[in-house]
Amino acid sequence: MIVLLVFLPLLAAIVAGLGNRTIGNVAAKVVTTGCLFASCALAWPIFLGFLSGSDSAHVVKVLSFITSGDLHVDWALRVDTLTAVMLVVVTSVSSLVHLYSWGYMSEDPSQPRFFAYLSLFTFAMLMLVTSDNLIQMFFGWEGVGLASYLLIGFWYEKPSAQAAAIKAFVVNRVGDFGFSLGIFGTFLVFGTVSIPAILAAAPGMAGASIGFLGGRVDLMTLLCLLLFVGAMGKSAQLGLHVWLPDAMEGPTPVSALIHAATMVTAGVFMVCRLSPMFEVSPTALTVVTYVGAATALFAATVGTVQTDIKRVIAYSTCSQLGYMFFAAGVGAYNTAMFHLFTHAFFKALLFLGAGSVIHAMHHEQDMRFYGGLWKKIPLTFFAMMAGTLAITGVGIEEVFGFAGFYSKDAIIEAAYARGTTAGGIAYFVGISAALLTSFYSWRLIYLTFFGTPRWAASEHIQHAVHDAHGHGHDDHGHAHDAHHDHHDAPDEGAGAEPHAHDPGAEHVTHGTAGYHPHESPIVMLIPLVVLSVGAILAGAVFAPAFIGEGATAFWQGSLHVNEHLMHAMHGIPELAKLMPSIVMLLGLAIATWAYLLDRSIPGRFVASFGGLYQFLLNKWYFDELYDILFVKPAFALGRFLWKRGDQQTIDRFGPNGAAALVQMTSVASRKLQSGYVYTYALVMLIGLAAAATWAMAI
């Protein structure tokens, strides 16, 4: 069953990819979506078997892969609780994204290619989460990187999509370099790449040291940090996060798949899978804690000022991944996986809901040109509300709460209960990020669904409606959701509305006369309904197994469960437990005040704190800094090697130099071949004299 579950998406990708337009759009969509729903139907019984305790860990060997000296690698599928959780997450979200894409991509001319890429992505992720050794994990790791490159750059005619795909690929190569070094070092130390063998031997390596860069360092700290560098790249942690927002250049279903269930969660999964290794190195765990906490706060601050609806949710993903990592850093791996599980449902819901909004608004993505949509697209509104209530952590202790109330709050409690300096800092950062999360989430809801409709000020909608009346067309149909720069967009701040006196507003209003936002087709609404159920119930239903008293029995040793920490979480002060809910309400109140009751506040804030606003709007200037430190020097080095090295040195003394030498030699030789006998006699005489002289000298 597990073999069929894993390889059905690969089969679908091959059929749709090779068949392409030969089999047509419908056949490609039926094959890929059908295979994904079949995999999902096989994944849930596996998960429920571990949930009930009727199933146990086992390995299914597929074939022998590598045998080279001491290196023996089998292609094998490990099925344990950790794998079962990921199987459900990946197949559930991916199957719903496939179905959603039937409507969202309905007018795209390259649908078979798109669905083939989606299925290939899913197969690579399934290979990663079922890996029984580090080599197979690396195969899946690189596979999702390749598929993400293809999906982010799906609309390759757009220069921005090409740049975003290359940026994601290059940044992830930086992380993957560290990950590969970690794998090499692990094999060097343990003599195997088998994950169970490595984890069994890891505790015995405590205190061991190794030579590195001319000094002695703690062995397990070095290995764990190298592996964590890979997790930082794949899961977009601070420093290697810069690819994630630009990934919005791909179609919206791609954003849901990458940011909810697959690529970005790979790093969290890897750290939890190798948790017995990380437990041996307190230093490595401290680094993981600080990096995760810094990422959670950084991304939350940037999310508060974004105006592109997809970018707000993208930075939200980055922030929530930070929560998962600092949970792992304080030793609450099961809590990190629980948040990964619940996050998959409400974040996929938010992205697909945003896609439904964009679809309704002729693919306008700037929230400043939304407003008053809740009556026009009510089902999308209620789905987005469910996702917002889940991510902000709305709930009442021992009564009911949405998904994030159980998982995110548990992470903050675990950080407090840890009792270390790093844990204490992570707790306060987590509280601060929770406040910002509530603010930017409700800001998105208010700007999108409430207030006065501001559609008439959007050039994009104007052109879309103009095109719909037969005056032009988009090369990608209505599935093109690229970001557009708006000449009419306001610059007063994050919450300001478009200028009422804009010189083009009257013309735009006339161009959109009679325009009405519309609800998405049924194939896009069904995934929203299903994911809404997950966002509402996933926390309450599964909390006892993931982080409750039955956690140790549920996880069955597939990750390290710190029972002492779990007990300590119940004993923290009541105020510390209530703080996430308090700051959630505070963020809601601030957003309600600024974006519902007095909409002049954002503009006044920007006028007073313009420097801070620009700092956040420019994402702490990471891109500009990297451009100065890495991009421009790399281009300068490339130009130098091209002009000076290739053209002026290699070509000059290589191909061009050899050609010039042949030409010179031929010219000299031609002069010697005069055809006169006395010339040849003279040359022979000179040669004979030279030979005689040489002989006499000897």
Q: Which one is predicted more confidently, 232 or 473?
A: 232
Round to whole Å and give the CA distance between 327 and 321: 10
- For residue 97, pLDDT over 70 is answered with yes
pLDDT at 490: 44
The arithmetic mean of pLDDT across residues 260-285, rounded, is 90
Query: What average pLDDT is seen over the chain?
Result: 87
pLDDT at 502: 33
The arithmetic mean of pLDDT across residues 490-503, rounded, is 40
The arithmetic mean of pLDDT across residues 302-306, rounded, is 93
pLDDT category of residue 459 using cuts at 50, 70 and 90: low
Round to whole Å and give the CA distance between 193 and 296: 32
pLDDT category of residue 460 using cuts at 50, 70 and 90: low
pLDDT at 467: 52
Q: Of 104-108, 256-260, 530-534, 575-579, which gets the smallest average pLDDT? A: 256-260
- For residue 474, pLDDT over 90 is answered with no
pLDDT at 464: 56
What percentage of residues in the chain have a pLDDT greater than 90? 62
Q: Which one is predicted more confidently, 234 or 651?
A: 234
Contact 344, 289 (CB under 8 A): no
Contact 545, 538 (CB under 8 A): no
Written as one letter, the residue type at 539 is G
- For residue 95, pLDDT over 90 is answered with yes
Distances in Å between the alpha carbon of 285 and those of 1, 181, 430, 696?
Answer: 36, 19, 17, 83
DSSP state of 194: B
pLDDT category of residue 669 using cuts at 50, 70 and 90: confident
Q: Which one is predicted more confidently, 487 or 669?
A: 669
User: Per-residue pLDDT tens for 17-41?
Assistant: 998 888 888 999 999 999 999 999 9
pLDDT category of residue 694 using cuts at 50, 70 and 90: confident
pLDDT at 662: 82
Round to whole Å and give the CA distance between 115 and 33: 8
| Token code pair at residue 501 | 């006196």
Residue ranges of the domains in the chain?
A: 2-451+519-617, 654-697
- For residue 511, pLDDT over 60 is answered with no
pLDDT at 457: 62
Contact 566, 547 (CB under 8 A): yes
pLDDT category of residue 130 using cuts at 50, 70 and 90: very high
What percentage of residues in the chain have a pLDDT greater than 70? 91
- For residue 380, pLDDT over 90 is answered with yes
Round to whole Å and give the CA distance between 553 and 556: 5
Question: How many Cβ atoms are within 10 Å of 698's Cβ, its own excluded?
Answer: 4
pLDDT at 503: 30
- For residue 10, pLDDT over 90 is answered with yes
pLDDT at 456: 67
- For residue 463, pLDDT over 90 is answered with no
DSSP state of 471: I
Residues 6 or more apart whose CB falls under 8 angstroms from that of 212 comprise 222
Distances in Å between the alpha carbon of 223 and those of 179, 185, 206, 271, 272?
Answer: 9, 7, 12, 12, 15
- For residue 281, pLDDT over 90 is answered with yes
Round to whole Å and give the CA distance between 276 and 203: 7
- For residue 520, pLDDT over 70 is answered with yes
Rounded to 5 degrees, what are φ and ψ at 212? -150, 125
Question: How many Cβ atoms are within 10 Å of 249's Cβ, its own excluded?
Answer: 27
Round to whole Å and give the CA distance between 301 and 433: 8
User: Per-residue pLDDT tens for 397-427?
Assistant: 888 999 999 999 999 999 999 999 999 999 9
Which H or E run includes 298? Answer: helix 282-303
Would the pTM count as exceeding 0.85? Answer: yes
The arithmetic mean of pLDDT across residues 628-642, rounded, is 89
